[in-house]
Amino acid sequence: MSHALPALVLGICTILGLVLIPLGLPGLWVMMAGVLGYGWLTDFRSVGVATIAVVLGLAFLGEIIEAWLGFRLARTFGGSRRSAWGALAGGIVGAVMGVPVPIVGSVIGAFLGSFVGAALFEFSLSRSPDIAVRAGWGAVVGRAIAAAAKIALGVVIAVLGAFAALRG
């Protein structure tokens, strides 16, 4: 098989994955699929178990970082554990509700949902608007930092995929 098709699959998955990450969609997993697809199309000549394990580990790390940062920063900004759960739930609901708006809907929905979820959950506990707003802001900051971290991990995955393609 020509090297062009596997490289094209890897390239498309890499670019698509990097675009999907800030939208709150599973970009790291699309990139993982691209590396696996490249390996499969080249009979795993340059993509071995070690490469797959590292890329898989990076994708899982991105998900862990995303979940942890939302919780951690909502609490760092003065929120309770309840606000952290509100940020998580609100972010998911907001992203789903934003899907009908092309391209940016899920991103805006996830950020707004994180803020509203953390603030409402915190307000239900503390009855303090100031604390609730700070917790909501922490959830938004956490989501933004998590997206940046996942993009950084995506760049590392892209470099690993490129090195695999160059070896092949």
pLDDT of 24 > 80? The answer is: no
Do 132 and 122 contact (CB within 8 A), yes or no?
A: yes
Q: What percent of the chain has pLDDT over 90?
A: 40
- Pick from 64, 62, 61, 17: which is nearest to 38 by CA? 17
Name the average pLDDT for the chain. 88
pLDDT in tens, 72-103: 787 788 888 888 888 888 888 888 888 778 76
pLDDT of residue 100: 79
Secondary structure of 15-58 in the HEC alphabet? HHHHHHHHHCCCHHHHHHHHHHHHHHHCCCCCCCHHHHHHHHHH
pLDDT in tens, 94-137: 888 887 787 678 788 888 998 999 999 999 988 989 999 998 99
pLDDT bucket at 4, cuts 50 / 70 / 90: confident
pLDDT of residue 94: 87
Highest mean pLDDT out of 61-65, 94-98, 110-114, 152-156: 152-156
pLDDT of residue 81: 83
What is the domain range of residue 12? 4-167
Stated as kind and residue range, the H or E segment containing 107 is helix 105-126
Task: Name the domain count of the chain.
Answer: 1
